Amino acid sequence: MTPFLGEFIGTMILIIFGCGVVAGVLLNKSKSQNSGWIVITFGWGLGVAIAIYAVGKVSGAHINPAVTLALAAIGDFPWADVPLYITAQFAGAITGAVIIYFHYLSHWKVTEDESLKLAVFCTAPAIRSTYSNFVTEMTGTFVLVLAILAIGANEFTQGLNPLIIGLLIVAIGISLGGPTGYAINPARDLGPRIAHYFLPIHGKGNSNWGYAWIPVFAPITGGLYGGFFYKAVFKGEPSVTFWILSAGVLSILIIAFLKERRK
């Protein structure tokens, strides 16, 4: 298996489990309907763990463009492989979403709420506030990348790392996912959103493209900062890029604070 196929299959597995659990919880007449946020977070966490178990030895199981870009930026992954990985991740995410559409084929027509159908595929904020939503997704992905690098520096029993990363996803969802639904992955959000746009979902409504840029660029920003923060603080290797990113992140936080104060 090639790294491209590994990232494709890994991301597809992630979306099948992740979007699948959201569909089960939200769509009408599903046996798991209304089982709640905790079930959703565990579905996503286990999806990540299984994806890593499946393809970790093939591609490293980035399954997230924000992770790929962060690793490349800090010198832990070759830039030449970045386009290949990101292409595979988006293709896998779209494919996984299409599979979930067919898996829940009988449930779209009996679910009247357009927002619930969209939520199966992609995220949306609980309170629409551009800067605040950006901060939330940035923070979640900062924690994700920082924790992945920190976990990788530890020695665990062989085969345990994927499960630990899966529990990290659960923890981020439980603790930080409430405001925006924690995309923390551009492919996870944009790929299924594209699928939602093209699929013949009964009564689906629009794909909320006005919000779509936030779960793409905020995770990339947070992921990059998480990578450089790890190198600067944990490994004692601060760089000019780290200080520039620190200033940028601080500026975003200040702007978000001032915007909320003016409401």
Q: What are phi and psi of 28, to 5 degrees?
A: -65, 145
* Distance of alpha carbon 7 from alpha carbon 15, whole angstroms: 12
* Distance of alpha carbon 67 from alpha carbon 25, whole angstroms: 28
**Count of domains for the chain:** 1
The Cα-based distances of 92 to 23, 151, 234 in angstroms read 18, 25, 33
CB 132 within 8 A of CB 140: no
Domain CATH number, residue 107: 1.20.1080.10
* Distance of alpha carbon 223 from alpha carbon 187, whole angstroms: 13
pTM, two decimal places: 0.95
Which pLDDT score is estimated for 261?
87
The pLDDT tens digits for 108-138 are 999 999 999 999 999 999 999 999 999 999 9
Q: Average pLDDT of 226-251? A: 96
Q: Quickly tell me which residue has 């009408």 as its tokens.
A: 28
Confidence of residue 158 (pLDDT cuts 50, 70, 90): confident
Q: Average pLDDT of 203-220? A: 97
Q: Quickly tell me which residue has 């990985």 as its tokens.
A: 85
* Distance of alpha carbon 207 from alpha carbon 210, whole angstroms: 9
CB 119 within 8 A of CB 204: no
Which pLDDT score is estimated for 262?
85
Instruction: List the domain range (segments joined by +) for residue 46.
Output: 3-261
The pLDDT tens digits for 43-93 are 999 999 999 999 999 999 999 999 999 999 999 999 999 999 999 999 999
* Residue 255: burial class (beta carbons within 10 Å; 0-12, 13-18, 19+): middle
